[in-house]
Amino acid sequence: MSSTPSQFGTRARAHGRAILPAVAPWVMLLAAAWPPGQFAEQVDAARLAADVAALQSVDGATRVTGSEGIAEARRWLVARLEALGLAPELEGFVVRHTFFGRDVHAANVVVAFGRSGPPLYLVAHLDSKAAHDREDAETVGWRAARDPAPGADDDASGAAALLEVARILKGRTERRVVLAWVDAEEMSSMSDDGFMTNLGSEPLARAAPDGAQAIAVDMLLRPRPWGASLRIYEDGRVSSAALRDALVQASWIVAPEVEVRPRLAPGFTWSDHGSFWAEGLGAVLLIEDDFEHERYHRVTDRLAPEDAFYSVEQLTAATRVLVAAVVLLGG
């Protein structure tokens, strides 16, 4: 995609430069007084960075579906959740492996808290890859069975964000909240109906009750040259629009420095939100604005200290927005 800023983006930046210095103290006061903002203040940037670093450094520096690396990532994640007093479950399934050409076992890590109402799902995929498909793997010389696929941005960033939601909001929402770190998102393919297949989120979406909603969180580390910028993909359903609005409203108060760009794109199903759309449920995708960058699906998708290519500040701001939106939606 072109990295040339849109006319909307140019206006937004010019407007932001003009008003942010004047309104910043008022925004800070609002955030401090607003209950969702109080929870968002608890997001820990150092913890987020450490979690991304841990996930990108598992066995073989890879979380390819079916590998020992993703099994280690699941064990690490389960231990972290249990340390928070939560009871995660492993939900296994079988998927056709894009690179191996055979069926492999995969598993989602799922944990829930809250009691009432239709559930709100927060989904991030745990698996990674370092080539777009088998042909691309041959071109770049990447071997799925043995070569690194650290997947810092895609999607250790989203996985870390969900861990912060679990840490901050466990036991603090009336609404049922289901957090899912899913497997095999990177093994997905497009079906004839325009929706994805072989996603770990498919069994979640099929089992979700009427009225359930989902926020997929996928790739949050890459900023634009002018600063933090995020997109929200929605499909036009009223239920999806409610999720969009909660995220946008949260951003105004807890992360006014972030450009948030909603997009109506019901055909954009290339992440876990698409499984919920296929089941007729409201869902959105929260993602960075520059998600087809030079490290996308490459062995260079790694977060390093003093690396200006990625931004822990953007990940932190996006997580603050997510936490505040969940409080808005969850009561």
The answer to whether 96 and 153 are in contact (CB under 8 A) is: no
Inform me whether the pLDDT recorded for 26 exceeds 60.
Answer: no
Q: pLDDT of 54-70, one tens digit each?
A: 999 999 999 999 999 99
Domain with residue 200: its CATH number is 3.40.630.10
| Structure confidence at residue 27 (pLDDT) | 54
| Structure confidence at residue 198 (pLDDT) | 66
Q: pLDDT of 142-165, one tens digit each?
A: 999 999 999 999 999 999 999 999
The answer to whether 179 and 166 are in contact (CB under 8 A) is: yes
Inform me whether the pLDDT recorded for 322 exceeds 60.
Answer: yes
Inform me whether the pLDDT recorded for 216 exceeds 90.
Answer: yes
Of the pLDDT bands very low, low, confident and very high (cuts 50, 70, 90), residue 16 is very low
Is 2 a member of any domain? no
Give the pLDDT mean for 195-202: 80
The percent of residues in the chain predicted with pLDDT above 70, rounded, is 89
Is 221 a member of any domain? yes
Please provide the DSSP assignment of 17-81 as one string. HHHHHHHHHHHHHHHHHSHHHHHHTT--HHHHHHHHHHHHTSGGGB--TTSHHHHHHHHHHHHHH
Domain that holds residue 61: 7-330
Is 1 a member of any domain? no
Return phi, psi of residue 63, to 5°. Answer: -125, 35
Is 302 a member of any domain? yes
Residues 6+ apart with CB under 8 A from 145: 64, 67, 99, 100
Q: What global pTM score does this model have?
A: 0.90
Is 206 a member of any domain? yes
Euclidean distance between the first and final Cα of the chain, in Å? 38
Give the bridge partners for 113, in sequence order: 177
Q: pLDDT of 81-126, one tens digit each?
A: 999 999 999 999 999 999 999 999 999 999 999 988 899 999 999 9
**By three-state DSSP, how is residue 157 classified?**
helix
Domains in the chain: how many in total?
A: 1
| Structure confidence at residue 2 (pLDDT) | 27
Cis ω for the linkage preceding 155 (within 30 of 0): yes
Give the bridge partners for 229, in sequence order: 259
